[in-house]
Structure 1
């Protein structure tokens, strides 16, 4: 059954209806084959872009939807309930647009944002390195000024959409001054010297390509730097709070999808002469799953509403990411248990949901890092 939502406006309710229609007609029929064959769903992102769903939280003047984050995240959740990889990709694309919008000049915004927000240009985000995941200030990728250009050399790990994106938001070191020496650049995919390593062989999200991007003396015009030199890490960290909410919504969507499958199966499967949902032991498992999904949704929506109101929301974003992904891991694991042996086969999607959810406790800052962020904020 679909999530019971209370949307803030009639327009936003229509957006949910539109999203559900696209999900049912365009995503559900393709997800199993795409995940089985590890096929990147580029055309799906174009469909979402043409429907106006990729740029929802950005202003209409740049081609966005002008919607509050509360609405955008619920759209992401609906997408992820059917196809987690596309939900993750939608969140990553929005994060890739964060830098140009918040740190770009008016000329840069007018030049790049319309094609980004329409989905004609799909974005990727290059922050982590193989030795610098939770500690981005330790990055070694360098950008050296050479006249009107920068020359970028290094490698960026765990790049979602790597090799398929049209542009990469890249953090690179412009000075040897720790976190204050990092700058932000928009690198086009066709830049000479930019290449993608073979994709990672992952446990889940097979249709979402994850690679290391290699920068071998990539020349980038200085006009593609966002903000001033040294502002890269603050730009990255500011965007991560919003990105964490995106992953919280994705995780909640996957959990909702798992709950829906488990309920449907429990109503049809019989044991000892009655549907298994009528057995209290299993009914209580489903009740706990439903409570976990709805509490997760309430948690990320609270953080989103703070963001929409212009209030600090960093701690609440970390709480949402932590709660939503941990809850989703429990819900998807329980969904496999509800289906029993059938849940362990690929005849049902719950084994995929379980595999996909695990990484959500890791990326956009591990859940251990979220606890660190939360505990530090409590000291103030």
Structure 2
């Protein structure tokens, strides 16, 4: 691709999002991280600023912007320094709802997508199960047709927004075993027989609402089927591309911020009679990290460019997620190391970052799955 397509409109939006992250969200970091939650009202405020509708059509209440507006949102929201909270917001706007826009009918969009863009309803994506994570084709939650209804039984786990979601874009088995028997259903969480239990004891992403979901004879109208029955696996794979791009963009931006924090620390922290940053070992380490971030950003922007133009980009998106998320974890290690013992305390943000970033190589498709996808795309 040529020069970056950020216009004046993108930069105005960038300032709006940065101010929101730094002035309205970050001041509550300690409280919300310790409390392992944040107010529901934040969804409404994010909607007011256009975060949820930035790439959705105007007729649905969105702004109709290109995907570079989403890039801006991802790069600036990390300045809230609460990966869990940010993950919840993007899980709502970029994981649970895009597939409704792509394959939902007008009634489904009106009932679920429009209020989601307004921040009036919160969405979650329900795929992962206690016995099926990366192996999406083997999910066991069932939806059996009974007259004009589906009756759902089963369980999901590690579901972002799980306890506060108003609806779940839910992967269920409507057919035989394997990928050809999976469907997507829009599931209202006020349905009788549904329960959600919070998962509180996590390594990181403390401010995120993560839950285990249970479905016991939950009866919903068949009109909530998304797209065609037994075609859900393909829809899920297509939906993953946006989720993985968001992951890559946030990995790069948070890595950049963490390196900048570490460089600032190294300028003021002295050892052996001079600032750490004057030691060649650390100057060279920072030079390596900055170069690797820039390379990862270029790869990710290339994938964004293809995605924005609706061109084939599965391999490129998988590469971007693989490289950026692995790199972010290496940067967490190096940047904590330069802080020494202080990095092992909560005094500096690198401790939180090191916990939170570990999820990036697991969620949205593990790094090992990214390698399998890339290998298959190149005929291996």
Specify the TM-score bucket, using the shorter chain as the normaliser. over 0.9
**1:166 Cα deviation (Å)?**
1.6
**Kept after mapping to 1: 8 A contact 2:88/2:209:** no
Query: Which residue does 1:86 correspond to in 2?
Result: 85
The whole-number CA distance in structure 2 between the counterparts of 1:150 and 1:190 is 15
Give the TM-score taking structure 1 as reference length: 0.95
**Kept after mapping to 2: 8 A contact 1:69/1:304:** yes
Query: Which residue does 2:156 correspond to in 1?
Result: 156
**1:218 Cα deviation (Å)?**
1.0
**Kept after mapping to 2: 8 A contact 1:159/1:211:** yes
**1:7 Cα deviation (Å)?**
4.9
Deviations along 1:188-217, whole A, 9 cap, x unmatched?
Answer: 121111111241511000111222110111
SS at match of 1:197: strand
**Kept after mapping to 1: 8 A contact 2:138/2:177:** no
Q: How does 1:93-104 map to 2 (within 5 A)?
A: 93=92, 94-104=94-104
**Kept after mapping to 2: 8 A contact 1:79/1:253:** no
The whole-number CA distance in structure 1 between the counterparts of 2:9 and 2:68 is 13
Query: Which residue does 2:216 correspond to in 1?
Result: 216
Q: How does 1:6-45 map to 2 (within 5 A)?
A: 7-45=5-43
The whole-number CA distance in structure 1 between the counterparts of 2:71 and 2:186 is 25
The whole-number CA distance in structure 2 between the counterparts of 1:173 and 1:367 is 26
| Residue from 53, 59, 62 that aligns with 1:61 | 59
**Kept after mapping to 1: 8 A contact 2:36/2:208:** yes
| Residue from 35, 44, 47 that aligns with 1:46 | 44
Q: How many residues align?
A: 376
Q: Which runs of 5+ in 1 are unaligned?
A: none
**1:57 Cα deviation (Å)?**
2.1
Q: State yes or no: 1:73 paired with 2:42.
A: no
Q: How does 1:203-352 map to 2 (within 5 A)?
A: 203-352=203-352
The whole-number CA distance in structure 2 between the counterparts of 1:294 and 1:41 is 35
CA RMSD after TM alignment: 1.7
Query: Which residue does 2:169 correspond to in 1?
Result: 169
Deviations along 1:231-282, whole A, 9 cap, x unmatched?
Answer: 2111111101111111112222321221121121112112233322122111
**1:87 Cα deviation (Å)?**
2.7
